[in-house]
Structure 1
């Protein structure tokens, strides 16, 4: 990719939670919304259940953790492919911690990625090391102001 090359993204967030009286009171409205992007299926969103959200829908915090995990995975798979390491399975049990502040706001304190990777071909040591490079290159990890740690496990296919 050329230095300075720009990429643009667009998403539309539409609130669907008006229950007839709008935001007339804190308990009067649903936090439900839809997230769409051109040519892609809608994601059903809400707030975290701690903030009166629907636990069956994705909340922004879920999506931030998922974005970090997904970005790391995509870089890792690319690097393995480039270096002749054949990945046959990849699962990440990522977690994140958000801290509320006294003024009612908050921020993420950390995210931990825990990818479990199975390889069919290539060296285990090199496959493990590529997680460091994937983390260094990840667009999303490079865009956040909190620590993102990677606790990877790589095993050979039996």
Structure 2
């Protein structure tokens, strides 16, 4: 059993709330395709607001986060948090973690809606001197299988980790 700590739990449903506030009315609302901006705020109670927009390819503000950025960041951070959990449980001391994740989205057509087709996580993990590099690498597979978000998508999420040993 790969995740005994998960199997011991009873089924629990978690609920999340997010408020999206469109701020792009330029005075005439959506009277035409180019009459408004795609700017909006993303709010979660008790947290700093995130300024959002659409991707610049879709008339968005390049200075703001877009849903695609946030989607990719969500997948990468979910994987990282599970990885850190498994590392702590297995005695791997992680001292650094940077992921240069990449995702591909097919814009689609009139008959086929757009969708993400692929995500590649590229975590560069630094572990303490004397750490087990093979185990540290293998824990990425466990993290992938445990990640709530990777389990929720219908496309491949690949992981190409690099494990480095700390020289400090």
TM-score interval w.r.t. the shorter chain?
A: over 0.9
Q: Classify the secondary structure of the residue corresponding to 2:51.
A: strand
Give 1:3 deviation, angstroms.
Answer: 3.2
1:116 matched to 2:124? The reply is: yes
**Structure-1 residue corresponding to 2:78:** 71
Give 1:101 deviation, angstroms.
Answer: 1.4
**Matches of 1:50 and 1:6, distance apart in 2:** 36
1:126 matched to 2:135? The reply is: yes
Give a deviation string over 1:39-91, Cα, whole Å, max 9, x none: 00000100000000001111000011000000000000000011111100000
**Matches of 2:163 and 2:40, distance apart in 1:** 38
**Gaps (5+ residues) in structure 2?**
1-5
Q: Please give the root-mean-square deviation of Cα atoms over the aligned residues, in Å.
A: 1.0
Q: Provide the TM-score with structure 2 as the length reference.
A: 0.92
1:49 matched to 2:93? The reply is: no
Which one of 16, 30, 34 corresponds to residue 27 of structure 1? Answer: 34
Which one of 40, 52, 67 corresponds to residue 60 of structure 1? Answer: 67
Q: Provide the TM-score with structure 1 as the length reference.
A: 0.97
Q: Classify the secondary structure of the residue corresponding to 2:12.
A: coil
**Structure-1 residue corresponding to 2:47:** 40
Give 1:105 deviation, angstroms.
Answer: 3.4
**Structure-1 residue corresponding to 2:3:** none
Give 1:4 deviation, angstroms.
Answer: 1.5
Give 1:100 deviation, angstroms.
Answer: 1.3
Q: Which contiguous aligned blocks of 4+ residues in structure 1 show a shift greater than 3 angstroms? A: none
**Matches of 2:10 and 2:36, distance apart in 1:** 46
1:6 matched to 2:35? The reply is: no
Give 1:132 deviation, angstroms.
Answer: 0.3
